[in-house]
Amino acid sequence: MTESTAKAHRTVGRVTSILECVARQPGMRLHELAVALDAPKSSVFGLVKGLVSTGYLVETDGTYRLGPALGNLLTGGLPGIATAARPALEELRRRFGETVMLGAAVGDSLIYVDAVESEQPIRYSAPLRTRRPLYPPSAGKIFLAYWSARRREAYLKSVLPDEDRVQAAMDELDTVRAKGVALNRGETLPDVSAAARPILVDGEVVAAIAVAGPTTRISGRLPEIGDALADITSAVVKRWEASRRG
């Protein structure tokens, strides 16, 4: 079979150039990217917003940096946190007998970067490094709860059918932020329920740990699981900080 000749594609070239430019700098603004690419700001604006929404870039006060998708989706990232969290996932599985996941936010999506599955015949099984919505999974609610109200509302309007549902979700996420625990009682799948808590480093949610299982088996234990997660996530942060100190 004759090999085809690779050809440059303008949009692909601009996207990869944006990522390469941002990788070389601690942060770049839109006009700097437009100059670097020799492209109209309007064209670059659409591309960077798309990269932010998919997690390949993050934006802070108009400055763009590389986002978590590069590590979490392409190379199974969060190596430090994932290593520190692994014993906690296994401990929770031993204690509750259910599947335990380590979740990360990638743009407007939730992905699980690690999981320890239940050994019971009927169990919840979560594919790794696969995009899923942030709402209503319990781990996704954790990330949404720490977003700004404006960003959170915009996201919820894109996934929920009406204003009443959006307002109810906003109120729920305020409670999640206040209590530090998120529950999912059969909202994603009727037969599956879960509880999750954040892993907080310097006030920032770097990951979330969730315990999930069949609703008939786990529903009554969700408050107990939520309490256990509080101690577990604190231990993960201490273990991670100790590993950084060497």
What pLDDT does residue 1 have? 42
Q: Are 76 and 113 in contact (CB under 8 A)?
A: yes
- Predicted pLDDT of residue 80: 79
Helix 138-145 vs helix 163-179: angle between axes, to the nearest 10 degrees? 80
Per-residue pLDDT tens for 5-21? Answer: 456 688 888 888 898 88
What tokens does 17 get? 């150039």
Query: Which homologous superfamily is 79-245 in?
Result: GAF domain (3.30.450.40)
Q: What is the dihedral of CA 119, 72, 173, 65, to 10 degrees?
A: 170
CA 17: distance to chain centroid? 25
Structure tokens at 90: 């296994």
Residues 91-127: tens digit of each pLDDT: 999 999 999 999 999 888 899 989 999 999 999 998 8
Burial of 78 (0-12, 13-18, 19+ CB in 10 A): buried
Phi, psi angles (nearest 5°) of residue 109? -125, 160
pTM of the model: 0.76
Q: Where in the chain is the domain with CATH 3.30.450.40?
A: 79-245
What are the residue ranges in the chain where pLDDT is below 50?
1-5
pLDDT reported for residue 3: 47
**Region(s) of the chain under CATH 1.10.10.10:** 10-67
Q: Report the candidate in 88, 86, 82, 95 with the shortest Cα–Cα distance to residue 225.
A: 95
Q: Please, are residues 67 and 107 in contact by the beta-carbon 8 Å criterion?
A: yes
Contact 136, 195 (CB under 8 A): no
d(CA 12, CA 140): 30
Q: Kindly report the CATH number that applies to the domain delimited by 10-67.
A: 1.10.10.10
The pLDDT of residue 148 is 92
**Cα-Cα end-to-end distance for the chain:** 53
